Structure 1
């Protein structure tokens, strides 16, 4: 059963999906896929200009997507945005936490600001948005949440101390949320991508050698490559998110689905 069928069988509470980080990369790919399956998407991002561009592109593809600029680190903005979405689009049945930032650097070179901003978006933002949305799901007795985490949440990597720690926090938070809300019929799962061809990853590249290093690995940094020999596309991650939201995953909660081409060797 796909999400369109789920919407029709369970009523209006399953019609609307809130997707954070929807101005590009994985978030935009998720918004597109949900729209293609008849879900009305509330696309949220703090970069209003990029969000407008993404929404205009998706609407040009006849996707039912509406943009809502908001900063996921602000409780006031998030609560106001969730109120507005439900007034304008209807009850939120699906939440995808895809907003994220990356501040790369070895731990001893990270600034306080690097650490604080990384956690503010990647961990606290997941908490703030989830709390606002899931409280409404509880009152309706249904809902599904997927947080986009990372395969580095459980694997040490050079230069990823802040990012890895923030994604680990988001991972265990989402599982705890799933445990606490299971009795209300709400499922909370995670997708953990590896290297994915997004603007975030490309910002780290200094040319073809960096891409090759992702594929082949760097033994001097204790990093293996990608056994499947390719980077993930945002659509690959979106497919995994879609599955966990769908009725095909109706008995799955608190699960962490890794999508990394084997880069963490199945651990």
Structure 2
């Protein structure tokens, strides 16, 4: 018997073309979910869905931009028409820009919030409108431990993730009476292209693990970066009936970097 009992369930995953989103999509597919892969990266989506199909999984690509509410409403409707009722939603799509506050442009601020915060709202609203009458569903938002721990040069990103985190908790409170669970998985530093883009050279990972007094950042107590599969495993648990009495929670997957804050 599969410990993760999601076989046959339709799972919408945003940001599925790369990084954590791709890992989540692959993990859900491996456990028998019907994956609706959503991303604005059409090429990455085609590659992912083709590989999943070759492995015997059921997956379909839906090209959409989470920052565009009309785009998402159309994609969610299409998913339900073509694949069936959405039972699992995983919000992974995100962007990162790093700058000191005085150097953040209006465009950078608005872009970060449009994807990381408004994108979560657009997807959750469209899904909740359909889940509520059915009184069933699971929504998981991939946030960040930066939502609770101040980081230098990451004010916009951290604020957008904090907004998405609190939104998901409030959504969970509203939807609880409909038996819909809403939770957050908050990674720390993870082996992704987004993380690597922050490193000045190949020793960047060692620096992240060690921490920096100069930037008021502790290191990672477990002495390693997360792998994308670590985040996907946490999502799998929360998506399954093994977590049937868990809602409005924020599960940290950061090797202890936030010191339990």
Range class of TM-score, shorter chain: over 0.9
Shift of 1:4: 6.6
Instruction: Point out where structure 1 has 5 or more consecutive residues left out of the alignment.
Output: 8-13
Aligned equivalent of 1:159, options 153, 157, 165: 153
Query: What is the TM-score with the length of structure 2 in the denominator?
Result: 0.97
Deviations 1:170-212 (A, max 9, x none): 0000000000000000000000000000111111222123211
Does residue 135 of the first structure (1) align with residue 133 of the second (2)?
no
| TM-fit CA distance, 1:213 | 1.1
Does the 8 Å CA contact 1:122/1:166 hold for their aligned counterparts? Answer: yes
Over residues 32-71 of structure 1, what are the superposed CA-to-partner deviations in whole Å (9 max), with x where a residue is unaligned? 1111111100000011112212222222332221110100
1:22-171 alignment, distance < 5 Å: 22-171=16-165
Q: Would you say the 8 A contact 1:102–1:163 is kept in 2? A: yes
Aligned match of 1:217: 211
Q: Distance in 1 between matches of 2:3 and 2:80?
A: 19
Contact 1:94 1:245 in 2 (8 A): yes
**For 1:252, which of 246, 254, 260 is the aligned residue?**
246
* Secondary structure in 1 matching 2:89: strand
Structure 1 contact 217–225 (Cα < 8 Å) conserved: yes
Distance 1:217 1:37 in 2: 36
Could you state the TM-score of these two structures normalised by the residue count of structure 1?
0.95
Gaps of 5+ in 2: none
Deviations 1:77-111 (A, max 9, x none): 11111111111100000000000000111111111
Report if aligned partners of 1:3, 1:38 keep a CA contact under 8 Å in 2. no
Q: Structure 1 residues 6, 204: closer, same or farther in 2, change over 3 A?
A: closer
Bigger Cα displacement from structure 2, 207-216 vs 161-170: 207-216
Would you say the 8 A contact 1:19–1:97 is kept in 2? Answer: yes
Moved over 3 A (4+): 1-7
Between Structure 1 and Structure 2, the one with more helix by share is 1
Measure the CA separation in 2 of the matches of 1:230 and 1:41. 30
Q: CA RMSD in A?
A: 1.3
